[in-house]
Structure 1
Amino acid sequence: MILSVIVPFYDEEAAIEPILRRCMAAVEELRRGRPDLAEVEVIAVDDGSRDASAERAAAVPGVRLVRHEKNRGYGAALKSGFAQARGGWLAFLDADGTCCPLSLGGLLDKALAEQLDVVIGARLHRGSKMPAFRVAGNRVFRALVRALGGAEASDVASGIRVLRREAYEELSPLPDGMDFSPAMSARALLDPALRLGEAPVWYDGRVGDSKLSALRDGLRFVKVILDAGLVYRPRAFFGWCAALLSAAALLLFALPLGGPEAPLAAALRGSADEWMYFRVILIAVFVSLAAFLTALGLVAQSLVGVIHRGRDGALVGPGRSAALTRLFPAVGSALFVVGLAANAAPLAAYWRTGHIAHEYWLRPIVGGVLTAVGIQLAGFWVAARIAGLVWERRRAGSPP
Structure 2
Amino acid sequence: MTTLSVVIPAYNEEDGIEAIVDRVLAIEPQLAEVGVAGLECIVVDDGSSDRTAEIVAGYGERVRLIRQQNRGYGGALKTGFGAATGELIGFLDADSTYPPEYFPKMCQVAMDGADIVIGSRMAGEHSEMPLVRRVGNTIFASLLSLVSGVRISDSASGQRVLRRSVLPMIYPLPNTLDFTPAMSTRALHEHLNIVEVPIPYKERSGRSKLSVVRDGLRFFKSIVWTALTYNPVRIFGGIGLVMLLMALMIVGVQLFGSLVVGSLSWSFPQLFGALVLAVAGVTAYTTGTTFSYVVALFHTRPIRQGLFGPYGNGRKIEKHYWWLGLLAILGGIGVYVASVVFDLTNPALAASWFAPVLSALMVLTGVQLMSAWSLARVLAELSRRDAEMEADLNWTYVPAAHPVHTDVVAQQI
TM range (shorter): 0.7 to 0.9
1:332–1:373 contact (8 Å) kept in structure 2: yes
Aligned to 1:98: 97
Change (3 A) 1:239 1:334: same
Confirm or deny that 1:384 pairs with 2:365. Answer: no
What TM-score, normalized by structure 2, do the two folds share? 0.85
Task: Give the secondary structure class of the aligned counterpart of 1:237.
Answer: helix
Q: Cα offset for 1:190?
A: 2.3
- One-letter code of the match for 1:65? L
Gaps spanning 5+ residues in structure 1: where?
A: 256-261
Task: Give the secondary structure class of the aligned counterpart of 2:89.
Answer: strand
* Partner Cα distance (1:218, 1:342) in 2: 48
Aligned to 2:359: 367
Aligned to 2:64: 64
Aligned to 2:174: 175
Q: Cα offset for 1:252?
A: 4.0
Give matches, 1:1-400, under 5 Å. Answer: 1-34=2-35, 37-61=36-60, 62-69=62-69, 71-113=70-112, 115-124=113-122, 125-192=124-191, 194-255=192-253, 262=254, 265=257, 269-271=263-265, 276-308=267-299, 315-316=302-303, 318-319=305-306, 320-321=313-314, 323-348=316-341, 357-358=349-350, 361-397=353-389
Change (3 A) 1:211 1:74: same
* Partner Cα distance (2:264, 2:354) in 1: 12
Once structures 1 and 2 are overlaid, which stretch shifts more, 295-304 or 8-17?
295-304
Task: Give the secondary structure class of the aligned counterpart of 2:174.
Answer: coil
* Partner Cα distance (2:315, 2:129) in 1: 44
Change (3 A) 1:133 1:283: same
Q: Cα offset for 1:304?
A: 3.0
1:21–1:60 contact (8 Å) kept in structure 2: no
Aligned to 1:258: none
* Partner Cα distance (2:195, 2:27) in 1: 23
Task: Give the secondary structure class of the aligned counterpart of 2:195.
Answer: strand
Q: Deviations over 1:234-262 (max 9, x none)?
A: 1110122113322433444455xxxxxx5
* Partner Cα distance (1:381, 1:53) in 2: 59
Task: Give the secondary structure class of the aligned counterpart of 2:27.
Answer: helix
* Partner Cα distance (1:354, 1:131) in 2: 63
Aligned to 1:259: none
* Partner Cα distance (2:302, 2:390) in 1: 8
Number of aligned residue pairs: give it: 381
Once structures 1 and 2 are overlaid, which stretch shifts more, 2-11 or 196-205?
196-205
- One-letter code of the match for 2:305? P
Q: Cα offset for 1:315?
A: 2.2
* Partner Cα distance (1:395, 1:324) in 2: 24
Q: Cα offset for 1:345?
A: 2.0
Change (3 A) 1:307 1:143: same
The structure number with the bigger radius of gyration is 2
2:44–2:76 contact (8 Å) kept in structure 1: yes
Question: What RMSD in Å do the two structures reach over aligned CA positions?
Answer: 2.5
